[in-house]
Amino acid sequence: MRPETHYAMSGDVSIAYQVVGEGPLDLIVVPGWISHLDMQWDVFGFPEWVERLTRFCRVILFDKRGIGLSDRDCGQLVALPRAANPMA
């Protein structure tokens, strides 16, 4: 069930994201201080958790700027630009 990774621009930074499911609601999963879209599918229980969520919503996963598959060369990480990541 590993989904395809897509990229969206947030300013001049490329943000990696994945979309799982087709439910009527969108649920954006905001990762903690570390994440990696491809590697999280190998974490015990993660695929099953996402599968349960897709029963009622479309799940949107992303790596924050400077983390995981998103652009790493993005300058200083400050709160305001990071808050815009899910909106990309």
Q: What is the mean pLDDT of residues 1-28?
A: 92
| Domain residue spans of the chain | 6-87
Per the structure block, which two tokens stand in for 41?
A: 């599918």
pLDDT in tens, 24-51: 999 999 998 889 999 999 999 999 999 9
Total residues found in the chain within this entry: 88
What is residue 60's three-state secondary structure? Answer: strand
- Say which residue the tokens 């201080």 belong to: 33
Q: What is the mean pLDDT of residues 55-82?
A: 80
**Which pTM does this prediction carry?**
0.81
Domain 6-87 has CATH 3.40.50.1820: yes
